[in-house]
Amino acid sequence: MSFLSTIERITDALQQCTPEDASSLAGLLAEIQALRNDWKSEGPDGMESEPDAALALAEGLLRKKSEAPGDDLAAIKDFVSKVRSAVGADAPTAGAAEDIDDELLQLFLGGCEEALSKIEGGLIELGENPGRTEVWAEVRGVIHTLKGECGVIPLAEAQEVFHEAENLLDTCSTQDIPIPIDNLLVALDWFKSYTEQLASDQSTQPPPHAEVMEKLRMTSSCVDAEAAESVDEGETITFPDDVMNDPTLPEFVVEARGHLEDAEAALLDVESHPEDLEIINRIFRTFHTIKGVAGFMNMTAMVELAHSTEALLDEFRKSNLTCSEEHTTLIFSCCDAMSSMLDFLTGGEAPRTSLIRKLVESTSLAARGEPWDGGSSQAAPAPVATPEAAAPQSAPAPAPEASAESAAEPSAPQPAPAASEAKPAPAETPKDTIKPPAAPAKTGLPAKKKYRLDNTVKVGTTRLDALVDMVGELVIAQAGLTQDPNLASVRTPRLQRNLTQVGKITRDLQESAMSLRMVTLKSTFQKMSRLVRDVAQKSGKSVSFSTLGDDTELDRTVVEEISDPLVHLIRNSIDHGLETPDERVEAGKPTKGSVELRAYHQGGSIVIEIRDDGRAASKQKIFKKALERGILPPETKLEEMPENEVHKLIFQPGFSTAEQVTDISGRGVGMDVVRRNIEKMRGKIDISSTEGEGTSIYLRLPLTLAIIDGMIVRCGGSRYVLPTLAIEMSFRPNPDQIHPLLTEGEMVDVRGMMLPVHRLKNIFNLDEGTDDLEEGILILLEDNGARINLFVDEIIGQQQVVIKNLGKALPAIPCISGGAILGDGRVALILDIDALLLEVGQPTA
Amino acid sequence: MSQAIETQPVEHELSGKYLSFMLGGEEYGVRILKVREIIAFQDITPLPRMPDYIKGVLNLRGRIVPVIDLRMKLGVNTPEITAHSCIVVLEVETSAEDETLAQIGCIVDTVSEVLDISSEHMADAPRFTGSLDTAFILGLGKLPNKDKVVALLDIDHILLTAEVIELAKQVANETPPATEQ
Task: Report the distance separating Cα A90 and Cα A106, nearest Å.
Answer: 19
User: Are residues B180 and A827, on separate chains, in Cβ contact within 8 Å?
Assistant: no
Task: Report the distance separating Cα A604 and Cα A713, nearest Å.
Answer: 19
Chain B contact set for A763 (CB, 8 A):
48, 180
Angle subtended at Cα A278 by Cα A275 and Cα A282, rounded to the nearest 5 degrees: 120
User: Are residues B62 and A470, on separate chains, in Cβ contact within 8 Å?
Assistant: yes
Beta bridge pairs of residue A714: A719, A794
In terms of Cα–Cα distance, which of A641, A643, A598, A636 is closest to A616?
A643
User: Are residues A808 and B65, on separate chains, in Cβ contact within 8 Å?
Assistant: no
B110 and chain A in contact, CB less than 8 A: no
pLDDT at A564 over 80: yes
- A196-231 pLDDT, tens digit each: 777 777 666 767 777 777 777 766 555 544 444 444
Beta bridge pairs of residue A599: A608
Local structure of residue A298 (DSSP, 8 states):
T
pLDDT at A40 over 90: no
- What DSSP string runs through A353-368? HHHHHHHHHHHHHHHT
> Which one is predicted more confidently, A829 or A29?
A829
Is the Cβ–Cβ distance between A468 and A804 less than 8 Å?
no
Q: How confident is the model at residue A93 (pLDDT cuts 50, 70, 90)?
A: very low
Chain B contact set for A805 (CB, 8 A):
64
Most confident of A258-267, A361-370, A761-770: A761-770
B133 and chain A in contact, CB less than 8 A: no
List the single best residue of B57, B90, B159 to mutate versus A (max A Cβ within 10 A): B57
Mean pLDDT of A645-671: 58
Mean pLDDT estimate for chain A: 73
A40-44, A356-360, A586-590, A813-817: least confidently modelled range: A40-44
- A783: exposed, middle or buried (Cβ count in 10 Å: 0-12, 13-18, 19+): buried
Chain A contact set for B181 (CB, 8 A):
741-742, 744-745, 756, 758, 840-841
Q: Distance between alpha carbon A448 and the CA centroid of its chain, in Å? A: 29
Local structure of residue A577 (DSSP, 8 states):
I
CA separation, residue A115 to residues A13, A250, A261 (Å): 17, 35, 46
User: Are residues A756 and B61, on separate chains, in Cβ contact within 8 Å?
Assistant: no
Percent of chain A scored above 70 by pLDDT? 72
Task: Report the distance separating Cα A170 and Cα A340, nearest Å.
Answer: 34
Task: Report the distance separating Cα A723 and Cα A799, nearest Å.
Answer: 10
Mean pLDDT of A365-379: 62
pLDDT at A811 over 50: yes
> Which one is predicted more confidently, B119 or A86?
B119
B103 and chain A in contact, CB less than 8 A: yes
User: b or e along A332-368 (b: 16 or more beta carbons within 10 Å of the residue's beta carbon)?
Assistant: bbbbbbbbbbbbbbbebbbbbbbbbbbbbbbbbbbbb
What SS3 state is found at B113? Answer: strand
Which residues are CB-neighbours of B65 under 8 A, at least 6 positions away? Answer: A807, B57, B58, B59, B89, B103, B104, B105
- B131-153 pLDDT, tens digit each: 556 667 888 888 777 778 888 88
Q: What is the pLDDT of residue A714?
A: 92
- A515-540 pLDDT, tens digit each: 787 788 888 887 787 778 778 877 88
User: Are residues A813 and B50, on separate chains, in Cβ contact within 8 Å?
Assistant: yes
- N-terminal to C-terminal alpha carbon distance within chain A: 63
User: Are residues A809 and B159, on separate chains, in Cβ contact within 8 Å?
Assistant: yes
**Residues on chain A bordering chain B, Cβ-to-Cβ distance under 8 angstroms:** 469-470, 472-473, 476, 718, 741-742, 744-745, 756-759, 762-766, 804-816, 819, 821, 825-829, 839-841
pLDDT at A631 over 90: no
Map A736-748 to HEC letters.
HHEEEECCCEEEE
Is the Cβ–Cβ distance between B12 and B81 less than 8 Å?
no
Tell me the residue ranges of DSSP E strands in A580-683: 593-602, 605-612
- B96-117 pLDDT, tens digit each: 556 667 888 999 988 988 988 8
pLDDT at A607 over 60: yes
- Inter-helix orientation angle A325-345/A277-296, to 10°: 30
pLDDT at A413 over 50: no
In terms of Cα–Cα distance, which of A412, A397, A270 is closest to A335?
A270
Q: What is the pLDDT of residue A48?
A: 66
β pairing state of A794-802 and B63-69: unpaired
